[in-house]
Structure 1
Amino acid sequence: MWKSVVTAIAFLAMGGSAFAASAVNKDAQTRTLIVTEGGGKTELALAAGETVEFCPNGCFVTLPNGDLEALTGSETVEISGGVARIK
C-alpha cells in the first residue's frame, strides 16, 4: 500500500515540473523580460526568433512596456512589434 502511495506522489511530482511558461520573440531585435521568482530578479534576454522556457513554478514577469504580470507556468509570452502578449 505504502509503495503505491509513494509511487503516485513521485509520479505527480515529476509530472508537475514538466510544465513551464515559454517566451517567443518574433521581433528582429533582442527583447528583455525581467523575471521575479522566489524573491530574486533575473533578466531574460531573448534574441530575434528565440523561444525559451522559464518559470516552471510560477513567477512574475515584467514585460518590455513595464507591465507586471503573474504567470502560473503554463502561459506563452509572445513578443511581436515590441509588444508582449500573454497566451
Structure 2
Amino acid sequence: MKTYLIRLAMALGMSVAMIGGAAAASVTNKDAQAQVLSVTEDGNKIELVVEAGATVTFCPAGCFVTMPSGDRETLAGNEDIDIVNGGAVIK
C-alpha cells in the first residue's frame, strides 16, 4: 500500500509540474518520519505521502487538506506549509 501511495504522490507531483508556471501549494516535511496528508481536489480524494525532509507541490487550483494532526484546512493553491511535529504551519 505504501508503494501505491508513493507512486500516487509522484504522479500528482508530475501532473502539477506539467502545468508549468501555475501557482500551487507546497508542503515541506520537517519531521524525521514520513507524514500523510488527505487531499481532496475537484472531488477526488488522495493520500499524499511526504517523506521526511521532502517538499511536495500540490493543489494548483485550491483543495481541502486534512493534516497529519487531524486539522482541516482549505487551500487556495498558493500556500507554503511546513510540517513540524505532525502539525502544519501555513505561511
TM range (shorter): 0.7 to 0.9
| C-alpha distance in 2 between matches for 1:85 and 1:35 | 16
Report deviation, 1:75.
0.3
Which blocks of at least 5 consecutive residues in structure 1 are unaligned? 1-13
**Residue 70 (structure 1) aligns with:** 74
Measure the CA separation in 2 of the matches of 1:38 and 1:22.
18
* TM-score, scaled to structure 2: 0.75
Q: Counterparts of 1:64 and 1:42 in 2: how far apart (Å)?
A: 14
What's the counterpart of residue 22 of structure 1? 26
1:82 equivalent to 2:86? Answer: yes
Tell me how far apart the structure 2 counterparts of residues 38 and 71 of structure 1 sit (CA, whole Å): 13
Give the TM-score of the pair, scaled to structure 1.
0.78
What residue is the counterpart of 1:46 in the other structure?
Answer: 50
Cα distance, 1:59 vs. partner? 0.3
Give 1:86 shift.
1.1
Cα drift, residue 57 of structure 1: 0.3
CA radius of gyration, larger in: 1
Runs of 4+ in 1 over 6 A off after TM superposition: none
Note if 1:36 corresponds to 2:55. no
- Number of residue equivalences: 73
Identify unmatched segments of 5+ residues in structure 2. Answer: 1-18
2-side partners of 1:23 and 1:59: how far apart? Answer: 13
